[in-house]
Structure 1
Amino acid sequence: MKKLLAILGAFGLTATGATTVVACNKGDSKKDTLGGLKASDFAKALLGTADKATLNTKVITIVGGKAADDAKKKEITDNLKLFGHAFVVTDKDAAYPLDKGKKFTLTIEKATDAQIKEFYKAAESKDISNDDLALAKKLQGYISGTKFSSEITIEDQATTVDISGATAPSIGEQTITVTDPADVKEGDLSALNSNAAITGPVATAIKAVAGVPADVALGTDYEITNDGVAGDFTDAKPVKFTVTAKGDKISGTFEFTVQVKATT
């Protein structure tokens, strides 16, 4: 028999008497895969999960994150426990804690009205109201598709190097050539973000941080932006640059200021 779980919000209660769900080791090939979920959504997120209750909480949070827009995600978060009653999860062959390399088949399926009523009563020791049942079904409907089923192999969390403590580069005054120094455009200022006089020292500062891989690159692993505002740059003005990491190699952000002047 499968270990049948109802995702019961923060309490993570186990449901009984619910319909058995058939799991598929190769993943669900149907076009109506629940929320567009993939095995990779869970492989790292479930690392270290200690028990079924914790699994329920993590899984329902991931499912809720698949809602189409922020307003729907917020409504789900505000009613997470009720949202949890609207799904059934099986964790076939799961051996807790879920350490690196362990495998199990995870199946998530939308619950029927009867199952929602059963799960609610098990958690709350009372019957669900018509209003709460309607809300549970509404929240359930925010997630596309009907079912997700796949073998999950637990992986390590990606480790990144924080560059927030990087020594900010000291860059001398930069002169930009424009048509009218008194009317510098935003595009002229944005161009500084890819100017070698800026990008070179930034790359040096990032790679000087202990543990940063040598192959980190602008665009792929970090981006540079600035707060320059279009206007008169006849006289030099301070422009603040922000370096923001992205991807799975580095994390964090740091800032530095450069004096910028325009000329023809």
Structure 2
Amino acid sequence: MKRLLAILGAFGLTATGATTVVACNNNKVADNDLAKIKSITAPAAVTAANSESVTKEEVKTALAANVLSAVQGIAKTAKADDFTYDVFKDSKGTAYSNVNLKTGTADVYVKITAAKDKKVVINSTGYIKVTLPKEGTVVKQSIAGATVTDLKLAANTGQTYADLLKDQTLIDAVVAGIKTETGLDTTVTTDFTLGSNKAGTDNQAAGTVTITVTAKGNKIEGTFTFDITLELPAPSKKSIAGATVTDLKLAANTGQTYADLLKDQTLIDAVVAGIKTETGLDTTVTTDFTLGSNKAGTDNQAAGTVTITVTAKGNKIEGTFTFDITLELPAPSKKSIAGATVTDLKLAANTGQTYADLLKDQTLIDAVVAGIKTETGLDTTVTTDFTLGSNKAGTDNQAAGTVTITVTAKGNKIEGTFTFDITLT
């Protein structure tokens, strides 16, 4: 046993500590691996100085566009300098020898290899057979695999589907699709015709239209179809340039910013009304327009003039307009005089004067001013801040007795009323 272990140990095959490495290959080919290319379209013709002895360079020139197209089939962004290609005599890589295209076709084999220091494509193809056409013949290229992405054209309801087939955007897209597929430049009428699944005399309408491309002439062959969407054009926008908003004279909220002002519902409603008057359209802020001002949004509001700019957005309206609003400091809150009191003054009855004259008595007025200040802390003046009345007819002459005086606030300092009695002696 020891001898067996010694022999196994000499080969690193002892039962303990052995490591087995298994190569793993899931045979997955990368999307940009040139090995994925299995065919290359034959050139329509080969231009040669001597068709009985066509050189490698002449063959490579004829194949250039189709080789690039084949590479772009696996890597759309590939360019000619992302790879190299060569032409061989057979699938074993035997060096190319000049071929005779005067008497018939000839088979050559093409191998494409990724350029060094490039990553757009990797690795290489196998030897791909390409049959070169006989001199004087043209190999038509199939358009069966061509594609055109949905163009989303505007439905011209005043034109027919026959007119749609003359649309240059549509024609250009077909030409581009054919070139991508075949490498050939083509023109409508000469090389292909267009048809659709709609009656040519019917007017265009929103919806899907299936376009059929049919090859003709001696360059291309076959057909392909694709769908396009016809959309109704967006309605024309109405200009708000002439809209107006009258000065709103809003209260300056000094605890809020100018950015907050632009969210004020009274302001927004006025803008909506101004736009409707100008355009007849109902609009909403954010969706159809935005508001800005000539003030920094982070600054707090202050009394003064603010210029508001209204900018249209969306598909209803267009343009801008501006207007000014005045921010005013809010009037200070009034203080109530309802709790004010005046003690009985015990004034002398001036029988030669009326009760209306009594209300002008300075002693009486000073007592009222003092009572209001005691209650509110404010200095006031008769006529400006309050009026006096009594329970006696103003035209009657004063007489001894009790008179009830009523004080009524006015102006923007105080509010309310209070009464007190005085004795005329």
Shared fold by TM > 0.5? no
> Which bin holds the TM-score, normalised by the shorter protein?
0.3 to 0.5
Computing the radius of gyration from Cα coordinates, the structure with the larger value is: 2
**Higher relative contact order, chain-length normalized (CA < 8 Å, sep 6+):** 1
TM-score (norm 1): 0.42
Q: Decide which structure has greater helix share.
A: 1
